Structure 1
């Protein structure tokens, strides 16, 4: 029996499940992926088995003649990268058990942001290390979907 992976967007309007094992896990540094994620790189996992959309479906944006990208149209979470009619690759950060999928391939390294070579030199600061952060965390009520499938969750906002 193969492993099952689930995940979804931040608000919970779009959820998915896919059977493992992971076929490829990668990060991409190309400018298109950077813009699509609003980040320095985009991490993706692909599977040989099809994606099952268990709640909602992503809205698609054609970012080039060959690629469609899927995202939640309620909260904006980037979810998929799809070439042609094949299975979409899924954003690693959207998985419930995100630490179980580790990229082994890096695309467009020539476009890698300079800080990526120096992450270990950044000054670490734990969340909640200042009075201001502790005060904010004490009253914070997250509207983010929990990292698990649940039948009674209602998207917020």
Structure 2
């Protein structure tokens, strides 16, 4: 078991989670697509008792059966949990400080999957620091590029 930390983009919401497995999954359901604005969202399932909110998130009821933690300051989606009998919380992979260890093990809600976005290995790739326009904006704004 490994203690891992994470939080939102602005830093207002922070958490610590005891992680037992590297196994993660991609959810393609329409609710997750709408909640995140993405074609899917990557989650790791964490027992509720192994997740500690150090500075609490906001929650919104996203359906008749579930609610979602998020930061009302920056909008970062942080997870998914059932309203009743929630033994686990699905935590967004991207909200972990170091998400590298997680590996996708399955897809969920494949009826809403956007296949064209899954196999993108042959698309051209550009590193952030290669975009001179964006680098200049960061340097002008705060003298450095983000981590």
TM-score range (shorter-chain normalised) is 0.7 to 0.9
Residue 102 of structure 2: aligned partner: 101
Q: What are the Cα deviations for residues 86-142 of structure 1, in whole angstroms up to 9, with x where unaligned?
A: 232111100011111122121122321233243112221221324323422433437
TM alignment of 1:74-89, pairs within 5 A: 74-83=73-82, 84-86=84-86, 87-89=88-90
Residue 12 of structure 2: aligned partner: 13
RMSD (CA atoms): 2.1
Matches of 1:3 and 1:82, distance apart in 2: 22
Greater strand share, structure number: 2
Report the 3-state secondary structure (helix = DSSP H, G, I; strand = E; otherwise coil) of the residue aligned with 2:134. helix
Residue 50 of structure 1: aligned partner: 50
| Structure 2 gaps, min length 5 | none
Residue 61 of structure 2: aligned partner: 62
| Structure 1 gaps, min length 5 | 147-157
CA 1:130 to 1:11, structure 2 compared with 1: closer, same or farther past 3 Å? Answer: closer
Matches of 2:81 and 2:22, distance apart in 1: 15
Query: Number of residues paired by the alignment?
Result: 142
CA 1:109 to 1:10, structure 2 compared with 1: closer, same or farther past 3 Å? Answer: same
Moved over 4 A (4+): none
